[in-house]
Amino acid sequence: MATKIAPTKGNLVSLTRSMKMAQSGHDLLDQKRQVLMMELVRFMDSAKTIQSDVSKIFGEAYEALQKANVSLGIDTVEDISESIPITNDITVRLHSIMGVEIPDVDPLSDSTVPCYSFLSSSGSMDEAYAQFRKVMALLARLAEVETSVYRLANQIRKTHRRVNALEKIVIPADKEQIRFISDVLDEGDREDFTRMKLAQKKHK
């Protein structure tokens, strides 16, 4: 039960203004929630597509690696893999969707130009290298999309709580207070009118 405040015209004006602001905030937050939901669905669809592509390409890459292990030997393949430099030039930019920071990962090159000697390699090793480069590029894209999904979902939960608080607590409480004050002021006006009429009759 909300605590009743002093039933004055000043408080009535203040509460009416507060309720209008709360309603406006509720409408804006509800619109934000809807926009974020649409973006979330879009990113989730992208995530499903990329996950499917990763699964397919990874299967092909693993099959190519097995062929390379058979043709060259596991030790040779391991030596070749150690000569491949670590990719550390990943660039992540951020853009805002309704105040939510969403990452943009610059596309990684899936270039298949080997960085190892051809003398100790084979076609199956080149194929494995090419396929795993594709996997790496897809994983970078997947990380971008899944991070976006997490951040959007988290913000939607927060926005939903705020919308509910305004809709079920703040606005109803303001309405109740306004109704209480209005009733008290109306009753006071009726009493004043009655007293005025009685006073007029006494002076006649």
What separation in angstroms does the CA of 203 have from each of 30, 54, 198, 199?
60, 96, 9, 7
* Each residue's pLDDT tens digit, 56-96: 988 988 898 898 888 888 888 787 777 777 777 778 899 99
DSSP strand E in 41-91: where?
A: none
**At which residue do the structure tokens 């509720």 appear?**
26
What pLDDT is attached to residue 193?
Answer: 57
Q: In this predicted model, what pLDDT tens digit does every residue of 12-39 receive, in sequence order?
A: 889 999 999 999 999 999 999 999 999 9
How far, in Å, CA of 191 to CA of 9, rounded? 16
Query: How large is the average pLDDT for residues 146-174?
Result: 94
Q: Is 90 left (phi over 0), alpha (psi -120 to 50) or beta?
A: beta
| 3-class state of residue 25 by DSSP | helix
- Of the listed ranges 2-6, 21-25, 46-50, 54-58, the least confidently predicted one is 2-6
Six token digits for residue 114 = 């080997």
Domain borders along the chain are: 14-185
Query: Which of 113-117, 130-134, 184-188 shows the highest mean pLDDT?
Result: 130-134
Kindly indicate whether the domain formed by 14-185 is annotated with CATH number 1.10.287.3240.
yes
Nearest to 90, CA basis, from 144, 45, 38: 144
CB 93 within 8 A of CB 106: yes
Distance of CA 201 to the CA centre of its chain: 70
Predicted TM-score of the model (pTM): 0.76
CB 190 within 8 A of CB 34: no
| Interatomic CA distance for residues 135 and 175, integer angstroms | 58
